């Protein structure tokens, strides 16, 4: 099979992913093999490729927004079968025995493994996954438009939940890429007024097209204080901008897996019972709830496609904010 493999982290403009011919893997007990049709591009992939995250498996095939068909199953697989169309997300496996798993927080599992980071992911013709960690894809979505839902959508949904925004309140989105453009649609459907803070005019235009009440840059003063905010861009200074824009008692949720250094701040920015909250991974329940809600909305993901061999170019375009919406590799 073909796979885009990372042997050593490097800046993406140095094209660190290389096309390799690898043996087709066989599923073990409790596992399925997915023939990959599409795989979304994610900032976490970029952070893995460029070495912003601690090194885990190396070499590794990135990719954790996988849509494809199950073409083989191992023993002890009962809930899915060959031919099922499924999605595979960032959370690959949890131990179900640690204190976090035992209390409903498997996203914080002490021994969790993640797709495209601890195990090979979906920048390939085939990928192996535990059957208990794949998701049925709603019929409302074709493969290309379903792929961004598997991380951008799921982590966006968890960030939205943890912002504790109530119906009819104002939500701010800082940064407007794959995840934010999905959350905007979700928030509108649930009765929120959405303000978008982003530098790129093309992203502002897309936000207005999707129903944003207001757009501007992070330095601009919105016409009203926010009730909650979600930061998607991995830029620490945005924390200060979001806190300034949020009312007393509001929550600022940080959706990224990593972020540049947060500058020192005056206590007055956090005073007034404002809450700054990180968002770490997601649970399988988050995924199931979101996919059901996404079909209800229905969410329409804006996508730009690349071939498997163009994975480096796709990640570079994402880093340079040249993708409106989400990038997706078309593989099969």
The predicted pLDDT at position 79 comes to 87
Q: Which residues of the chain have pLDDT under 50?
A: none
The predicted pLDDT at position 267 comes to 96
Burial 190-220, CB ≥16 within 10 A → b, else e: eebbbbbbbebeebbebbeebebbbbeebee
**303: helix, strand or coil:** strand
Q: What is the CA radius of gyration of the chain?
A: 19
Distances (CA, A) of 325 to 61, 62, 302: 23, 20, 5
What's the rounded Cα separation, in Å, for the pair 127 and 35?
A: 7
The predicted pLDDT at position 78 comes to 85
DSSP β-bridge partners for residue 277: 253
The predicted pLDDT at position 19 comes to 98
DSSP β-bridge partners for residue 229: 172, 252
**156: helix, strand or coil:** helix
Mean pLDDT of the chain: 97
Residue 281 · residue 89 · CB < 8 Å: no
What's the rounded Cα separation, in Å, for the pair 273 and 217?
A: 25
Residue 147 · residue 121 · CB < 8 Å: no
Residue 88 · residue 157 · CB < 8 Å: no
- Exposed/middle/buried for 290, CB within 10 Å: 0-12, 13-18, 19+? buried
Alpha helix segments (H runs only) across the chain: 43-50, 99-102, 143-146, 152-162, 178-189, 201-209, 237-245, 267-270, 284-296, 311-319
The predicted pLDDT at position 332 comes to 85
Tokens of 73: 């199953």
The predicted pLDDT at position 12 comes to 98
What domains does the chain contain, in order, with CATH numbers? 2-150+282-330 (3.90.180.10), 154-278 (3.40.50.720)
- Nearest-5° angle of CA 30, CA 46, CA 317? 125
User: What backbone torsions phi and psi does residue 287 show, to the nearest 5 degrees?
Assistant: -65, -45
DSSP character string of 238-301 = HHHHHHHHEEEEEEEEE--S--PPPPP--HHHHTTT-EEEE-----HHHHHHHHHHHHHTT---
What's the rounded Cα separation, in Å, for the pair 158 and 105?
A: 12
Q: Any idea what DSSP says for residue 3?
A: E
What's the rounded Cα separation, in Å, for the pair 316 and 195?
A: 27
Task: Tell me the pairing of strands 326-330 and 31-40.
Answer: antiparallel
What's the rounded Cα separation, in Å, for the pair 207 and 28?
A: 44
pLDDT in tens, 47-106: 999 999 999 999 999 999 999 999 999 999 988 999 999 999 999 999 999 999 999 999
């Amino acid at each position: 099979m073909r796979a885009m493999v990372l042997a050593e982290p490097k800046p993406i403009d140095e094209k660190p992913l290389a096309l390799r011919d690898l043996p087709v893997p066989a599923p073990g007990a409790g596992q399925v093999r997915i023939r990959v049709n599409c795989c979304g591009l994610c900032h976490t992939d970029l952070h893995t490729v460029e070495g912003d995250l601690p090194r885990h498996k190396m070499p590794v095939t990135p990719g954790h927004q996988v849509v494809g068909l199950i073409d083989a199953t191992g023993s002890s697989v009962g809930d899915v079968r060959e031919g099922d169309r499924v999605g595979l997300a960032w959370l690959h496996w949890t131990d179900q025995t640690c204190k976090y798993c035992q209390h409903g927080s498997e996203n914080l599992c002490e021994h969790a493994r993640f797709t495209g980071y601890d195990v090979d992911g979906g920048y390939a013709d085939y990928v192996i996954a535990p059957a208990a960690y794949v998701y049925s894809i709603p019929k409302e979505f074709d493969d290309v438009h379903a792929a961004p839902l598997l991380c951008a959508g799921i982590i966006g949904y968890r960030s939205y939940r943890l912002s504790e925004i109530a119906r009819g309140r104002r939500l701010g989105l800082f940064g407007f890429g794959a995840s934010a453009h999905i959350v905007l649609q979700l928030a509108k459907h649930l009765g929120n007024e959405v303000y978008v803070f982003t530098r790129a005019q093309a992203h502002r235009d897309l936000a207005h097209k999707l129903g944003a009440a207001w757009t501007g840059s992070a330095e601009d003063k919105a016409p009203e204080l926010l009730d909650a905010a979600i930061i998607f861009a991995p830029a620490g200074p945005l924390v200060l901008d979001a806190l300034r824009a949020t009312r007393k008692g509001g929550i600022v949720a940080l959706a990224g897996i990593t972020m540049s250094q947060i500058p020192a701040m005056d206590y007055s920015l956090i005073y007034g019972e404002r809450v700054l909250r990180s968002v770490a991974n997601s649970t399988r329940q988050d995924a199931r709830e979101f996919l059901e809600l996404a079909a209800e909305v229905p969410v329409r993901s804006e996508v730009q496609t690349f071939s498997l061999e163009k994975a480096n170019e796709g990640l570079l375009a994402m880093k340079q904010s040249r993708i409106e919406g989400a990038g997706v590799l078309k593989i099969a």
